[in-house]
């Protein structure tokens, strides 16, 4: 059985007071409190900038050893270069994450491709074949042309996960391509029991990382907490 890691995309949301964060909790202590209830978070910060060593050491200091940071890849990789000729920049980006890696807090790297980018298996293959094998990678495709067997096979060869993403407008097929699973669940509401039944089979294949919608309410964080609890009880 794999481990369950669940959370939201970010934690710095004052609107979660007082139903999630205590009313008087300062923003500087949000992450520490978050980590007492959830065991992972997806970093959107890294989409636009490299995190400094000081910033990462601060994150590490506020969280427990079992906590994992999933990292959204920089936009230069996914939206500017669109994976083409992006390996040198990717190596620099991965190198900047050394503090998280050294502390064993680094979760998967999420490559979220733009909605307008259509399927190009050769482009994908050229990129994944050049990635270091010591890190987990997930790919979120937001154009339906990518949902095909050649793409799945390309990911399987690299042991990279097809990010199972869903929103009100697009749903990724629930296809396993790696020894771990990465889910981004962005709908407004979820019922826990159907969600439990959906997630449980993935734990038999390896670790599961699942991230819920955040924004104006803590509903996603509450769902994530419940899923972690169920996993601790054998889901």
What distance in Å separates the CA atoms of residue 78 and residue 111, rounded to the nearest whole number? 6
Question: What per-residue string of b and e applies to 213-234 under the rule 16 or more CB within 10 Å gives b?
Answer: bbeeebbbbbbbbebbebbeee
C-alpha closest to that of 184 among 168, 205, 163, 200 = 163
- CATH number of the domain where residue 105 is located: 3.20.20.410
187 pLDDT tier (thresholds 50, 70, 90): confident
140-156 mean pLDDT: 97
Whether the per-residue pLDDT at 139 is higher than 70: the answer is yes
pLDDT at 74: 98
47 pLDDT tier (thresholds 50, 70, 90): very high
Q: Which domain holds residue 213?
A: 4-232
158-187 mean pLDDT: 94
pLDDT tens digits for range 111-124: 999 999 999 999 99
pLDDT at 170: 85
Q: How many domains does the chain have?
A: 1
pLDDT at 233: 56
């Amino acid at each position: 059985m794999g481990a369950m890691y669940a959370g939201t995309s970010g934690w710095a949301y004052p609107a979660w007071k007082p139903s999630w964060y205590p009313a008087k909790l300062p923003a500087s202590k949000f992450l520490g409190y978050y980590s007492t209830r959830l065991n992972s978070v997806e970093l959107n910060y890294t989409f636009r900038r490299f995190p400094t060593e000081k910033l990462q050491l601060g994150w590490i200091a506020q969280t427990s050893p079992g906590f994992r940071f999933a990292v959204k890849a920089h936009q230069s990789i996914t939206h500017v270069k669109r994976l083409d000729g992006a390996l040198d920049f990717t190596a620099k980006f991965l190198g900047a994450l050394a503090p998280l890696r050294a502390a064993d807090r680094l979760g998967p790297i999420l490559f979220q491709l733009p909605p307008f980018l259509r399927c190009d298996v050769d482009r994908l293959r050229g990129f994944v074949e050049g990635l270091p094998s010591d890190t987990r990678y997930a790919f979120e495709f937001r154009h339906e042309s990518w949902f095909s067997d050649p793409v799945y096979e390309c990911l399987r060869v690299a042991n990279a996960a097809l990010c199972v993403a869903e929103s009100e407008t697009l749903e990724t097929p629930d296809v396993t391509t790696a020894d771990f699973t990465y889910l981004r669940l962005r709908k407004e509401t979820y019922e826990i029991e159907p969600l439990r039944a959906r997630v449980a089979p993935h734990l038999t294949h390896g670790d599961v990382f699942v991230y819920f919608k955040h924004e104006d309410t803590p509903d996603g964080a509450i769902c994530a907490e419940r899923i972690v609890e169920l996993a601790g009880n054998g889901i």
